[in-house]
C-alpha cells in the first residue's frame, strides 16, 4: 500500500476522533430552553428593571415617575 494513502487515512481517522472528543467536551449538559421558555425568561428579567422615561428635555431618565416629577417642579 502506498505511504501517502496510509498517511491520508491516518489523518482522516485522527480528525474524526478529534471531532468526536471536541463534541463530547463542548456539548450542552442540559437541554436547551424552548423559544417559549426563553421568552418567559426574558420577560421576567425585563420586569425587574426600572422603566425608562424621558423628561421634557428629551433626555432618558431611569427611575420612578415621582422622582421625575419632583425634579421638574424644582426646575420651575
pLDDT digits (tens, 9 = 90+) for 14-41: 999 999 999 998 887 777 778 888 888 8
Tell whether the model's pLDDT for residue 60 goes beyond 60: yes
Higher pLDDT, 48 or 20: 20
What integer is the mean pLDDT of 42-57?
65
The DSSP-derived string for 42-62 is: HHHHHHTSPPEEE-TTS-EEE
Strand (E) or helix (H) holding 38: helix 35-47
Residue 29 vs residues 17, 24, 26, 39, 56: alpha-carbon distances, Å: 20, 10, 9, 21, 50
In eight-state DSSP terms, residue 32 is P
Amino acid at each position: 500500500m502506498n505511504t501517502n494513502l496510509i498517511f491520508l487515512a491516518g489523518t482522516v481517522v485522527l480528525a474524526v476522533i478529534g471531532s468526536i472528543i471536541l463534541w463530547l467536551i463542548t456539548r450542552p449538559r442540559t437541554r436547551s430552553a424552548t423559544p417559549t421558555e426563553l421568552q418567559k425568561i426574558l420577560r421576567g428579567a425585563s420586569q425587574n428593571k426600572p422603566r425608562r422615561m424621558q423628561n421634557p428635555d428629551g433626555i432618558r431618565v431611569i427611575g420612578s415617575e415621582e422622582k421625575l416629577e419632583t425634579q421638574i417642579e424644582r426646575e420651575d
